[in-house]
Structure 1
Amino acid sequence: MTVAIAPSEESAVRQGVLDPVARDARDFGAYARTGGWAFALKVARSVRPGGQSADETPKVSAKEFAELAGCSPERVMRYYKAWDRAADDDLVPHFELLVPGADIELPDAEVWHTYYVSRSSAASERGTAITQAAEAEGIRPTKALEVAENPTALRAAILADPSTAQAARHALLDRVREDPALQAELARDIARTDELKKAVATESRAADRIGYVRQIAEKGQIRTPAGQTLDAPAGLRSEAERHLSLLDELDEGEDSGEWATEAYDTMKHLVVETVEADPELRVQERRTKFYSSLQKATKVFEELTFDDADDIYEDDMVQRLEDLQQAIGSAIAALRGAAPRQ
């Protein structure tokens, strides 16, 4: 970018405006057009490239340039590296072709942030990861690094702005799938927060109910109250598909709990009607239910131990067992009486 006095500046000088004001206006206009390239050029044409000695060039080291500029060498080197990256892409000339004090045509300001990283944290392993993630999302790394260095500001934005909170939620979900430690931390946070525990329980119940409807609609299978798995009749499956389509059409933020409950209750009612309408199924359902209850009762009784009967004895225990014995005897007699005769 060749520096020249613009017509507006000449006019300002003629009208008696002080030279420093006109110079500031000129510098501001140059920066507005080129952004950080204007300062990067000053570094690129004045700082020695690596491998060159002081005898080979009139340029100075980054440390000397920083002392003259009244800033840190690290800041100077960030501009230096930005120019170097741009030169590798043939966007600007390489350092060796630049002469101190000489101006050149500079790229547009919008391109500057593609090459410049304003924070030293970008050089760290953490900064590199953030930079790569930002590039993958199609945003400037400087923005992501700024957010990462100011978590308090991020917290404030999440608390104040629903859209920011939504973006944070999506990002956290993407992260948690690949981070077992974060999964454990979130699980502990939920377990220790009553409101979150209730919300999770509600959503889990809704998800289970939707899963019940989906099983019927997509796999064509029903599960009876007694636990039988059967092929769903065509009409019942069609009704499940209708309810499932309504659930799938809900917006992401819409509460699915009420819809899931309605679909679940409807399908459960239809399953019961299907079983009751078929005599053979009805008998099989009762048989399955009886076996299930008998198995549970047997398991409970087998878990009882009487090694320490002296310590736990109470008259009521004996009475309950005697009542149970009579009930079992009656059940056995009823079943024997119903057995087919030889």
Structure 2
Amino acid sequence: MTSSEDAATRPGVPDPVERDAHDFGAYARNGGWAFALKVARSVRPGGQSADETRKVSAKEFAELAGCSPERVMRYYKAWDKAADDGLVPHFETLLPGADVELPDSDAWPAYYASRSSAASERGAAITEAAEAEGIRPTKALEVAENPTALRAAILADPSTAKAARAALLDRVKEDPALQTELARDIARTDELKKAVATENRAADRIGYVRQIAEKGQIRTPAGQTLDAPARLRSEAERHLSLLDELDEGEDAGEWAAEAYDTMRNLVVETVEADPELRVQERRTKFYSSLQKATKVFEELTFDDADDIYEDDMVQRLEELQQAIGTAIAALRGAAGPE
């Protein structure tokens, strides 16, 4: 279909109305190609002098059209790219007023950059990303040029906010500076800090259940790592399957807490049901407490005893010495006569 096809003449319809309807129909069918043709057949190509052609310069055409030369050149460049791809004739073959078969309007966005920002390095990156997402670059460029509109959409629309969050997560993986900025924002915002702490707690609890279900290992309250009994592992797998089936937007915190508490109770029951394990658990717990107490005491320094001395300090150390003596005597008694 060509841009020269005339609209049907109707009695009583003024000529200006017919012309407007005809132009509108041409644009509806061919999109920007209808106007690009007007530029292509009227603006002389670079390197061609005014003496060689009836065409005019882009500047003169813009003055006649009442728009900027930059806008004219965007249509000019779109046609030039399409001509290189064999979609439309080259400028040199077009005469002023000539009509040609025009491509479908769907092809227009791939060649036309409606904004000058598309020519910048930033614009090129946005265009490339838009094409990778399968959307028109002009849409992405429009959003990039109006951050306030983007902010308004994010604030007002949950689906837009969700898309923005997903995009930020994708970008943050490869942008160390953004990682730092987001981490700083989270640290300075109480609500976000609480939310992160809650999610971390849920993730730790799910990790505990996953360790049992997938690796077949349990960790006792005292810190022992043991092979999980079949019954306990099966229960962990059941809870894990329930967690994995949660919808993306569903809060996993409550489910994670229930699964964690259940598995912890089963681990305690498993330890208590086995006399040997029960003794080993108490022994492990004793060693752990002893190690912590030893480390704390070793970190004490008395180089400045004159400055920090209080009677209460000596009293507490004497009580500690008595408790240690009692503990040593109990352990030696348990060991039996040498």
Place the TM-score, normalised by the shorter chain, in its bin. Answer: over 0.9
SS at match of 1:235: helix
Partner of 1:242: 238
SS at match of 1:222: strand
Partner of 2:49: 53
Q: Which moved more, 1:238-247 or 1:101-110?
A: 101-110
- 1:186 pairs, out of 182, 189, 205, with 182
Cα distance between partner residues in 2 of 1:83 and 1:341: 103
Q: Percent identity between the aligned chains?
A: 88
- 1:68 pairs, out of 53, 64, 70, with 64
Cα distance between partner residues in 1 of 2:5 and 2:166: 51
1:103 aligns with 2:91: no
- 2:209 pairs, out of 199, 208, 213, with 213
Cα distance, 1:46 vs structure 2: 1.6
Partner of 1:254: 250
Cα distance between partner residues in 2 of 1:300 and 1:173: 42
Cα distance between partner residues in 1 of 2:37 and 2:67: 16
What whole-Å deviation, never above 9, does each CA across 1:83-117 have from its counterpart, x for those lacking one?
11212221111212211110111112222112111
Contact map agreement 2:7 2:18 (CA 8 A) in 1: no
Partner of 2:89: 93
After TM superposition, the structure 1 = structure 2 runs for residues 104-123 of structure 1, keeping only pairs within 5 Å, are 104-123=100-119
1:36 aligns with 2:37: no
Q: Which moved more, 1:261-270 or 1:104-113?
A: 104-113
What whole-Å deviation, never above 9, does each CA across 1:234-271 have from its counterpart, x for those lacking one?
11111101000000000000010100000000000011
Partner of 1:314: 310
What whole-Å deviation, never above 9, does each CA across 1:132-159 have from its counterpart, x for those lacking one?
0000000000000001111111111111
What whole-Å deviation, never above 9, does each CA across 1:248-303 have from its counterpart, x for those lacking one?
00000001010000000000001111111111111111111111101100110011
SS at match of 2:42: coil
Cα distance between partner residues in 1 of 2:54 and 2:22: 27
Cα distance between partner residues in 2 of 1:261 and 1:4: 71
Partner of 2:4: 3
Cα distance between partner residues in 1 of 2:276 and 2:85: 79
Cα distance between partner residues in 2 of 1:53 and 1:336: 110
Partner of 1:159: 155
Amino acid in structure 2 at the alignment position of 1:146: E
Partner of 1:19: 15
- TM-score (norm. length: structure 2): 0.97
Unaligned runs of 5+ residues in structure 1 are none
SS at match of 1:55: helix
After TM superposition, the structure 1 = structure 2 runs for residues 244-283 of structure 1, keeping only pairs within 5 Å, are 244-283=240-279
Cα distance between partner residues in 2 of 1:287 and 1:120: 74
Q: How many residues align?
A: 337
Partner of 1:335: 331
SS at match of 2:50: coil
What whole-Å deviation, never above 9, does each CA across 1:66-98 have from its counterpart, x for those lacking one?
222221111111111111121222111121221
Amino acid in structure 2 at the alignment position of 1:126: R
RMSD: 1.2
Partner of 2:191: 195
Unaligned runs of 5+ residues in structure 2 are none
SS at match of 1:293: helix
Cα distance between partner residues in 1 of 2:246 and 2:306: 62
